[in-house]
Amino acid sequence: MAGTRLPPEDNDISQVRVPVTADLISDDDRSVAADSWSIKSDYGSTLDEDQRHADASEALAAAPYRTASDYSSDKEEPDAETITSMLGFQSYWDSAYADELTNFREHGHTGEVWFGADVMEVVASWTKGLCVDLSQKELQNHHENDNSDLDKQGKRDLADWSVLDVGTGNGLLLQELAKQGFSDLTGTDYSEGAIDLAQSLADRDGFATIKLLVDDILETKLDKKFRLVTDKGTLDAIGLHPDGPIKRIMYWESISRLVAPGGLLVITSCNHTRDELVQEVENFNQRKAPEESDISRNPPVFSYLDHIRSYPTFMFGGSVGSRVATVAFLRS
């Protein structure tokens, strides 16, 4: 699961109708994620799938707020109903990556780069800068009177950043992060074809140390925490499933267990604005916060840290928007 395709680059930026699920895929084509496990590691199991779904359904029913898709943004039409798409189903991604893997084996083609190579490079470079800044702040806290070589030490400390890319697809974002100096890199995807393609590309391009696992973020078997977790389009695709609102709640429950305390979550989306992502995080924080809790003793699970400001923008309906948003959140 890598993300949704960007709309065509043309002068007409009006909203294109997304095909509904009934137009594209039958119930028989739906894949059951629990049947797709082929994890190549010793990671342990976490919550039962039925319990996760029940907890998410209960939270959604009791929530006094709206889901992120209900908030106004730079879209032409309000989301009166949840828009679903074939991109929300595992069967679509299994088929897509099977084709891309065949093309790679027969012709050496890398396949589609979701969001484009330029966006991927910007995300990797910008994320490195955030991690270096956080490392330097930690060093300053430990060596308040010695600021020598902080920049060099911060860059060296990138090797200490354990990185997880959820819904890694072809794994090219991990390769870009490796070029930036990260070395402890893991990618997961619920499509075995995606992992096979990512492994083939990593071996070809000299990134054989990247660890790649078949795993579903909604029912993750990982019990390790990572200092940096990245998501490039995975939350987008999850939201396109007919059960998108419930699955998004499951997503935040899982992702919060995977980001280490003091770690970073970096989400890149073409379906949601920065404000929508921030609002969704605030909704999650509200669900997790004890009633009448003291924020000094119980800080929010995630807090907004920064977002990329260098993406091209366009004017529509009197508002300025961007086709892509990348937002970083700090784990308490």
Give the three-class secondary structure for 148. coil
CA distance 266 to 327: 6
Angle, to 10 degrees, between the axis of helix 117-142 and the axis of helix 172-179? 50
d(CA 284, CA 300): 9
With beta carbons less than 8 A apart as the criterion, state whether 210 and 187 touch.
yes
Query: What is the predicted pLDDT for the residue at 62?
Result: 53
Q: Which helix (H) or strand (E) holds 23?
A: helix 21-24
How high is the pLDDT of residue 142?
Answer: 64
The rounded distance, in Å, linking the Cα atoms of 68 and 300 is 18
* pLDDT at position 238: 96
Structure confidence at residue 75 (pLDDT): 36
H or E segment to which residue 287 belongs: helix 274-288
The token pair that represents 5 in the structure block: 């395709």
- Taking the model in full, what pTM does it have? 0.75
CB 184 within 8 A of CB 209: no
Which pLDDT score, from 0 to 100, does residue 67 have? 42
Given a cut of 50, the residues of the chain with pLDDT beneath it are 2-47, 63-82, 145
